[in-house]
Structure 1
Amino acid sequence: MEVGTLEKVVDIKRKIEQIYGVPVAYQILTVSGWELVDGLDMEDYPIITEGTKVDLAIKPMEPNSISYNDKMKMQITVKFPARRINIEVDQTDTVRSLKEKIHIIDSTPIKKMTLFFLGRELIEEFRNLNEYGIREFSEVIVFLKNAHQPKDPPSKKLSLVVQTSSSLLNAATIPVEMKDTNTVNDLKQLLLSRKILPADDYLFIHRQRIMRDSCSLKWHGVENGDCLYVFKGTVSRNGYTTS
């Protein structure tokens, strides 16, 4: 199947549905054991290149059971400084679509909203709620811009595991400790300074997403005990190159 670099996973699933008749909701696509997330596109997966094999698994279709879409629905609480409201959302809703629902129900201007969950700002509006760990009965806090913003919580230490690709150090597993305020570049320089990695260009991956060198581990949503994957490669305006 031919796909574009900016083609989203869900669009590929729609093609599969047209060809083989498998409903999008029942498809699970994986590459090397990594499940592909509907809202992401091919550029988000540096491991996918020309000729990559994508595995398709089909979820069981149980008769007389609750529909897949119903299972994806969940209730969350949206808390304002002086009030709170309950909203029904879908696990695949994005931060942007949540803001739109809040606007429809509460008339709060979308541009003025800043959303937080468990002390973390929901910055990337195209990311799904489940990627931020939002589940049934979760509480999302709304702060309005030009109002008093919450103080940044103090930095905390993280114990991480860096997993190299098979082309690096024979797929080594490297434990490291960093602060959540450290950037990806700080981590990269630490590994280089300890000569754990040879001098080269690298891509770091967290939860199937390419990490940005200048952004902190906290910004990427890295938590204690998480695993980061490292590949040789670079990112440019025209895409990425891996080796």
Structure 2
Amino acid sequence: MDVTFVCSGELAFKMEVGFFDTVGDIKQRLQSYRGWPAAGMSLFHNGDLLEDAGGSAACAQRYGIVEGSVIHVVVEFAAAAGNKGSCGGALRLRVNVVSRCGHWRAEIAVSARDEVSALREQLEERVFPLPLDGAYFFIHRQSVMDEGRSFEWHGVETGDEVVVFEGTVTRSPAY
């Protein structure tokens, strides 16, 4: 069954969970999939902590996890790492979004591991002047940003400018 996982500062995602999977199994799968340390994870469903007691007593069935359920994840890293409470240690970035002509500016908080498409969603929720037809793209350091790639992949750092350009980008076919 597909279950949605939510962790503060990260985009929600779906992952397959078996009806008889234990909490430990789910944590191990999350560790493999996202790199979060299983020992530092706390999972919550409907506000209840999913205890990793071991055995079948701690399976998804016992906690009422079904298709479409939402599990909230809290990850605590070693204090020495400086990432306590941050899922996956994902660095939070504050980027300056600027309209092409520079008349509009907004500072937006994103996760370094978010896809650039998350910026589009945030701007559309705010009062930021965008083309009504959704035909716009982002430029960072004179390069068009691929909305399917992360800010980290594009080398975006806190304080960087991302410029919104009206229009669309097309790529020539490979010959």
- TM value normalised by structure 1: 0.36
Higher RCO (C-alpha 8 Å, min separation 6): 2
